[in-house]
């Protein structure tokens, strides 16, 4: 089996494995810390998670909408505000 056939057969599996390992390295400590915090202070952790989720759903959408309007005005749309 030459290299091209090997990559055709196993390339995406190896790429997915490398990607999963990289995600584990990046997010693993955060997940581990969350689990330890959940075991030690379960009520506080759940309350903070719910507060964070509510904040995300209520306020971050307004932030991204304002950001998109600013990008459209200053960077992407040459005729922003000039149309009838």
58 and 26 both lie in a single domain: no
So what's the pLDDT on residue 67?
A: 87
Residue 16 sits in which domain range?
1-40
Task: Please tell me whether the overall predicted TM-score, pTM, comes out greater than 0.75 for this model.
Answer: no
Whether residues 36 and 46 fall in one domain: no
Q: What gap in Å lies between CA 64 and CA 20, rounded to an integer?
A: 29
48 lies in the same domain as 83: yes
pLDDT grade for 83, boundaries at 50, 70 and 90:
low
Q: Residue 31 is encoded by which pair of tokens?
A: 């997940």
Going by pLDDT thresholds of 50, 70 and 90, the confidence category of residue 81 is low
Q: Looking at the structure, do residues 55 and 35 belong to the same domain, yes or no?
A: no
| pLDDT for 35 beyond 80 | yes
Domain count, the chain: 2
Do 45 and 81 share a domain, yes or no?
yes
- Same domain? 36 vs 49: no
């Amino acid at each position: 089996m030459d290299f091209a056939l090997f990559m055709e057969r196993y390339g995406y599996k190896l790429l997915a494995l490398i990607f999963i390992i990289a995600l584990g390295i990046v997010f693993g400590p955060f997940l581990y810390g969350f689990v330890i915090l959940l075991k030690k202070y379960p009520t506080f952790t759940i309350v903070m998670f719910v507060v964070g989720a509510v904040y995300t759903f209520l306020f971050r959408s307004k932030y991204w909408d304002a950001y998109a309007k600013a990008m459209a005005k200053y960077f992407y749309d040459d005729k922003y505000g000039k149309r009838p």
